[in-house]
Amino acid sequence: MNATIAPADASASVLDTVPKLLLHNAQRYGSRPAFREKAFGIWQTWTWAQTKDEIEAFAVGLELLGLKAGETVAIIGDNRPHLYWAFCAAQSLGAIPVPVYQDSVAEEMAYVLTHAEVKYAIVEDQEQADKVLSIAADVGTIRKIVYNDPRGLQKYDPNDLVSIESVQEAGRKALKSDPAVRKAWLDGIAAGKGSDISVVLYTSGTTGRPKGVMLTQENVVVSGRNANLFDHFTPDDTMIAYLPMAWVGDHIFSYGQAFAGALCVSCPESPDTITEDRREIGPTYFFAPPRVFENMLTQIMVRMEDAGRLKKAAFDYFLKVARRAGEPILDGRPVSFGDRLRYRIGDVLVYGPLRNRMGFSNLRVAYTAGEAIGPELFSFFRSLGINLKQLYGQTEASVFITLQPNGEVYPETVGKPGPDVQIKIAENGEVLFKSPGVFLRYYKNDEATAETKTADGWVHTGDAGFIDQRGHLRIIDRAKDVGRLTNGTLFAPKYIENRLKFYPEIKEAVAIGHGRDFVTVLINIDLTSVGNWAERNNVIYASYQELAAHPDVYAMIERRIDELNKSLATEEMVAGSQIHRFLILHKELDADDGELTRTQKVRRSFIADRYAPLITALYDGTPRCQIRTEVTFEDGRKGVIEGDVKIVDMKTYPPVKAAVREAAE
Amino acid sequence: MKADVQERSGAAGAGHAVADRVIGDVLLSVENVSLAFGGVKAISDVSFDIRKGEIRAIIGPNGAGKTSMLNVINGFYHPNQGAITFKGRKRSIMRPYIAASQGISRTFQNLALFKGMSTLDNIMAGRALKMRRGLLWQALHWGPALSEEIKHREAVEKIIDFLEIQHIRKAPVGKLPYGLQKRVELGRALAMEPDLLLLDEPMAGMNLEEKKDMSRYILTVNDQLGTTVALIEHDMGVVMDISDRVVVLEYGRKIADGTPDEVQRDQRVIDAYLGISH
């Protein structure tokens, strides 16, 4: 491996925009792979030189179409090389890409497109084109839609839509006929500055309308470069791009870091084939929110339940070995010879095949963020030899605020400040930071900018946390969500919820307690895991609702919560937050119903309103409650789910000392 | 700019732009066909035709003889009377192998997939008629046989992409949900690159979303590949939405034939479906 890291050389200072990085990569790493996409079952590869040609033709074509500097371009679709190129093509012309969540419904999309005043929409396929067409009249500023996949679009009005291919074709023709065209394009890139606006990313936001976070070229380029340095990424590293392109994480990882370090980005065939595609690619760098890791663990556990007895026994035994020795070995701490040997055998028999199954055979670094990850879940993956680490970041920071350095990984913390990042804790416990990634401002929302960003450049994260004695940041909860029970006990809902969600049977939990006498929770069961259990135990059910109300399922969840209460009793800070009552919701929380954000975070206040009768019942002691809820189906129609929900009282335990006494008996 | 597009981009079914589709000459015609099983008359004296490029629906209450009609068309049943003219050649009985080699492919009401085989292999099976190399070559899996397989695999991958079943490419079809199995079966029928595609209740047992998807696939196949489609379907909404002409059978007799609108207004059809008071 002789590849060196691009950003370290002297020219780094002038490579301050992504289009400049593109030219640099095409020259220096011309024959190395830049993008991969699986089409018709085969991986197609574009080298950096080819990528440059594609983007060049695309940019010139867009310019011929009428795109001008300073105008905004919406980019909507699943992760596709052509859409990543659209970012760079627009930026090379001084235009500003605005990625939009591909699963948002037309109305949500209309808000973003109108607010950003987009002139062109570059979309993946018919589905997205239809959505944009349906709102184009309301948005009013859209001149043309440019699409990637022509299927089903042939009969549409060419005045409304053109294909990326035809745009590129026009660009190629112009480039061929007149050498001045290329020169003009290159001059345009050379004139770009680090302070130019590179992208507007709309945050899904847990409350209110989405805000458009404006990042500069420098934000993206420097953040990408620093992250590459932090984990020593080289052009040999490869990742798989599968998270929404409108999300800052994907933008920094698959675009910022990829261009800054000439890494290779692979795009899966379809959203349903990611697991398979990941196995084939074997990424060395992987990012996933905790939810994805949770699903992986659930799937492994479900499969192992169905495995033969010998396999199951081997799995259980070596998992125990891994739990004991895995993490110390990964961190380079001393481990006894016997355990080292057992771990080595386990690696051949169990861990290796498991990693291969998950597509982690070549993995060097994996990150998780977005939400706190259950410590047991986190340790599970690390004990298998997967270098999973946490980071803490947000859109306003171009992702990186803190990261866990290799060898200093503590599950309860989110790591140390990243390169060039400063953090401080405000009086009320809120975390503030300052970094090269700090956003410029919110698009057309100076009020929100002023609230978030202080005059001297500090940004309010909205999260409460503290720095521990090792210098690591610990996040407890959203600053505004941390509350107190009526008796003054600290109540951090997310902490409780995350502990619950680690149980494979529980998919989602909402804890309530601020200003109340005690803590209660609403539970969503995990249909994969509980459904599998039901199948094995001959429990017959027709719907989520029916399974959720099953007495045996209630009993199972009750056991889990009892376990948690026992465990909470041993933790001084949260012993008072033991769960007194719980219920299992009659429907799954869903982003389409507004209960979760598009990044699958719980929208607490919305849920409190929507399920107010249930919450009242949780506190007035009634054993059952009737509830009617409106739901939105995937095709946009609405319906009503009605249910009778049972509420269960839990036993709570006196703090710590009691546990000791019990043990002594 | 948007008014005309709005209407087209509504539901999947509504994307059916008739504008430049060409409905051509008669591709297949059934003349005075009668079929009896012993004393049971399944079809009596039915005539209708299917034109090149159209979507033709055969509807009727249970036991009306719809599936029997399809079976007569592709030669699985031999009619007692009447004739079938396909691509200008008149035959008193059709043979399944002639039907298949002449470009008729079909799907079945109750699915007839190889359950233990993967999606990929099932669709590959649809290419069997197009394979030139014999068993021995295939077994060697080398040289011309290999390059042939690559060519066919390419065709199959296009179908997989078209039907959006990449994620189940390697999954054994027996384990797939019903809606997906239906899609795989359509894929296998498409793999034959048929001129006439016979679909026996393609939407049976599907939910609304799956029906919409299936309608979209049928329309696109018809629209872009120019494949003629004859389908049996019980969902009247779907039938009226996607078909050009509808023939209605009742107790083995034809009671109506025409555009969806005409058929819907026909008193005999209304009676057949809703019953009449005597």
**Nearest C-alpha of chain A: how many angstroms from B40?**
40
In the structure, what pLDDT confidence band is assigned to residue B8 with cuts at 50, 70 and 90?
very low
Mean pLDDT of B49-64: 92
Residues 3-62 of A with CB under 8 A from B: 39-42
Measured CA to CA, the distance from residue B43 to residue A656 in angstroms comes to: 82
In the structure, what pLDDT confidence band is assigned to residue A269 with cuts at 50, 70 and 90?
very high
Q: Nearest CB to A133: which of B2, B158, B216?
A: B2
Domains along the sequence of chain B with CATH: 24-103+194-278 (3.40.50.300), 115-193 (no CATH)
Using only the alpha carbons of chain B, give its radius of gyration.
20
Contacts of B14 in chain A (CB under 8 A): none
| pLDDT value of position A234 | 95
Strands (E), A468-574: 473-478, 483-484, 490-491, 506-512, 519-525
| pLDDT value of position B172 | 94
Q: Which is nearest to A68 in space by CA: A35, A96, A109, A32?
A: A96
DSSP symbol at A404: P
Dihedral-angle region of residue B253 (phi above 0 means left; psi in -120 to 50 means alpha; beta otherwise) = beta
| pLDDT value of position B13 | 38
Predicted confidence (pLDDT) per residue in A64-109, tens digit: 999 999 999 999 999 999 999 999 999 999 999 999 999 888 888 9
Mean pLDDT of A525-529: 90
What are the start-end ranges of the H helices in A66-142?
A: 81-92, 106-116, 126-139
Contacts of A129 in chain B (CB under 8 A): 9
| pLDDT value of position A22 | 97
Q: Which is nearest to B4 in space by CA: A142, A138, A155, A154?
A: A155
Q: Is A151 on the interface with B (CB under 8 A)?
A: yes
> CA-nearest residue of chain B to A154?
B224
Residue B18 has pLDDT above 70, yes or no: no
| pLDDT value of position B132 | 73
- Residue A216 backbone dihedrals phi, psi, to 5 degrees: -90, 165
Mean pLDDT of A243-272: 95
In the structure, what pLDDT confidence band is assigned to residue A193 with cuts at 50, 70 and 90?
very high
Measured CA to CA, the distance from residue B245 to residue A351 in angstroms comes to: 60
- Contact assessment for residue A61 and residue A90, using Cβ atoms and an 8 Å cutoff: no
Q: What percent of chain A has pLDDT over 90?
A: 63
Contacts of B9 in chain A (CB under 8 A): 129-130, 133-134
In the structure, what pLDDT confidence band is assigned to residue B10 with cuts at 50, 70 and 90?
very low
Mean pLDDT of B52-71: 91
Residue B7 has pLDDT above 70, yes or no: no
Measured CA to CA, the distance from residue A582 to residue A592 in angstroms comes to: 25
Q: DSSP characters for A405-468? A: PTT---TTS--EE-TT-EEEE-TTSEEEEE-TT---EETT-HHHHHHHB-TTS-EEEEEEEEE-
| pLDDT value of position A489 | 77
In the structure, what pLDDT confidence band is assigned to residue A474 with cuts at 50, 70 and 90?
confident
Q: Is A422 on the interface with B (CB under 8 A)?
A: no
pTM for the complete prediction? Answer: 0.78
Q: In sequence order, which residues have a C-beta less than 8 Å from that of residue B135 and are 6 or more positions away?
A: none
Measured CA to CA, the distance from residue A101 to residue A117 in angstroms comes to: 16
Q: Token digits for A230?
A: 């932090």
A540-544, A653-657, B35-39: least confidently modelled range: A653-657
A268-277, A343-352, A568-577, B113-122: least confidently modelled range: A568-577
Q: What percent of chain A has pLDDT over 70?
A: 95
A543: helix, coil or strand? coil
Average pLDDT, chain B: 85
- Residue A215 backbone dihedrals phi, psi, to 5 degrees: -110, 145
Q: Nearest CB to A130: which of B4, B9, B212?
A: B9
**Number of neighbouring beta carbons within 10 Å of residue A647:** 20
- Contact assessment for residue A238 and residue A284, using Cβ atoms and an 8 Å cutoff: yes
Predicted confidence (pLDDT) per residue in A294-334, tens digit: 889 988 988 888 889 999 999 999 999 999 999 999 988 88
How far from A617 is each of A395, A515, A581, A623, B86, CA to CA, in Å?
Answer: 38, 16, 10, 8, 70
Q: Nearest CB to B1: which of A41, A154, A159?
A: A159
Interface test with A, best of B6, B8, B9, B208 (most A CBs within 10 A): B9
CB pairs under 8 A between A and B: 59
Measured CA to CA, the distance from residue B87 to residue B195 in angstroms comes to: 10
Angle value at C-alpha B56, between B50 and B59, nearest 5 degrees = 120
Residue B278 has pLDDT above 80, yes or no: no
Q: Which residue has the higher pLDDT, A593 or A15?
A: A15
- Residue A462 backbone dihedrals phi, psi, to 5 degrees: 85, 0
| pLDDT value of position A205 | 60
**Number of neighbouring beta carbons within 10 Å of residue A236:** 14
Predicted confidence (pLDDT) per residue in A153-167, tens digit: 888 898 999 999 999
- Residue A516 backbone dihedrals phi, psi, to 5 degrees: -110, 175
Residue A420 has pLDDT above 50, yes or no: yes
In the structure, what pLDDT confidence band is assigned to residue A6 with cuts at 50, 70 and 90?
very low
Amino acid sitting at position B274: L
B220: helix, coil or strand? helix
| pLDDT value of position B277 | 65
Residue A417 has pLDDT above 50, yes or no: yes
Mean pLDDT of A113-140: 95
Q: Nearest CB to A272: which of B6, B158, B167?
A: B167
Predicted confidence (pLDDT) per residue in A213-256, tens digit: 999 999 999 999 999 999 999 999 999 999 999 999 999 999 99
Contacts of B15 in chain A (CB under 8 A): 152
| pLDDT value of position B275 | 72
**Nearest C-alpha of chain A: how many angstroms from B271?**
33
Average pLDDT, chain A: 89
Question: Are the beta carbons of A635 and B209 separated by less than 8 Å?
Answer: yes
Measured CA to CA, the distance from residue A662 to residue A221 in angstroms comes to: 57
